[in-house]
Amino acid sequence: ATSLYSRKYLLAFLVKASAFQTTVPTNRAFSRTSNIMSETTKPTLPSEYVVPDVWTFDDPSSSNQPTAGARKEMKLKRGEHDLQLYSLATPNGMKINMLLEELNDLKGIEYDAYKIAFSDLDQFGSDFVAINPNSKIPAMLDTSMDPPLRLFESGSILKYVAEKYDAFIPTDPRDKVEVFNWLFWQVGGAPYIGGGFGHFYKFAPVHIEYAINKFSMETKRQLDVLDKHLEGKTFVVGEQYTIADIAIWPWIMCTIKFYGGKDFLGIDSYKNLMKWYNMIDERPATKRAFRITGFTPDAIAERHSKEDLM
């Protein structure tokens, strides 16, 4: 049987690795046609596949497209509170739900939340695209500003909201930097857990060993980074619950509950991680967060006040 990982690729990697210089390669540099490993000798899946010179795509019925922008006219609702959240309780959406519910517990902050239904392609509605041209949830408006201020990317929203209400970010300058170390770590790492591991292990229509191995390895590596960091700690930073914890937690939850990663990735072996995970799982705000624009039987599509969750 043909091995995927033949030693002849070592030479190709060595030649390609030279592209990672500390200076930008010159024009002469590395050309695909001068590659020792020519394209036709790489195995392919499917076997008759040849990488085209120019990639094309023509399937208007696909919800995934290589283009951005609005696909339909659609007005979004707006409530009375400062913050208007347009979202879904996916892992990234959960981050914001958790923070806002914590602020509700801590300071009585209220906000409006509206569900963006992917099944209806609401993320490509004109109002939504004006808030987030990337057409992803979560997205937010701060209507206390005129005109309202748009926020997109869960990391940006966590930072903004925590700073606005002066909570869940440490005041100590060293701890604050450390929170942002881990917040940025999370947003850069999650794509490999979600778009990588979750996709190829659970959702892709074909089980591709190479991809599953690659992203399983990376996901476990991240879990180990976290587990080692949490040694002797209660929270990710300092002795307080911060947006670093809030950003990281939903993706661990997703890996365990939705991707079926608990056994496959041996998550119970990460003792510090599981202890931290279980602790946050118990917080009342976490439990409510699942329901807001969520998928559970007790989910609510809109949230306007604490009463909506009772």
Partner 1 sequence: GSFTANKKLNKSSLIFRAGVQFSSTTDKEEAMLEKPEKPSFPPNYTPPKVWTFEEQEGLMGGMNRPTAGARFEKELQKGAHDIQLYSLGTPNGMKVTILLEELVDLIPDFEYDAWKIAIFDLDQFSSGFVDINPNSKIPAMLDTSMDPPLRVFESGNILRYLAEKYQNFLPSDPRKRTETFNWLFWNMASAPFLGGGFGHFYNYAPVNIKYAIDRYTMETKRQLDVLDKQLEGKVYLIGDEITIADFAIWPWMLCIEKFYKADEFLQLESYKNVKR
Does 172 contact partner 1 by CB under 8 A? Answer: no
Number of residues that bind partner 1 (CB under 8 A): 99
Gap between the Cα atoms of 22 and 278, Å rounded: 44
Query: Minimum Å distance from CB 294 to partner 1?
Result: 22
Tokens of 122: 């609401």
Among candidates 204, 199, 62, which has minimal Cα distance to 121?
Answer: 62
DSSP-H helix ranges across 57-125 = 91-107
Confirm if 223 and 270 have CB atoms less than 8 A apart: yes
Does 310 contact partner 1 by CB under 8 A? Answer: no
Q: For the segment 185-244, give every residue that binds partner 1 (CB under 8 A).
A: 185, 187-192, 195-196, 199, 201, 204-214, 216-218, 220-221, 224-225, 228-229
Long-range contacts, stretch 115-119, CB < 8 angstroms, 24+ apart: 115/87, 115/88, 115/293, 115/301, 115/302, 116/86, 116/87, 116/88, 116/293, 117/88, 118/63, 118/88
> Of the candidates 88, 89, 151, 161, which one interacts with partner 1 according to CB under 8 A?
151
Q: For the segment 72-131, give every residue that binds partner 1 (CB under 8 A).
A: none
> Of the candidates 28, 54, 73, 297, which one interacts with partner 1 according to CB under 8 A?
54
Does 153 contact partner 1 by CB under 8 A? Answer: yes
Gap between the Cα atoms of 157 and 138, Å rounded: 8
Does 301 contact partner 1 by CB under 8 A? Answer: no
> Of the candidates 28, 58, 61, 66, which one interacts with partner 1 according to CB under 8 A?
66
> Of the candidates 28, 60, 64, 166, which one interacts with partner 1 according to CB under 8 A?
64
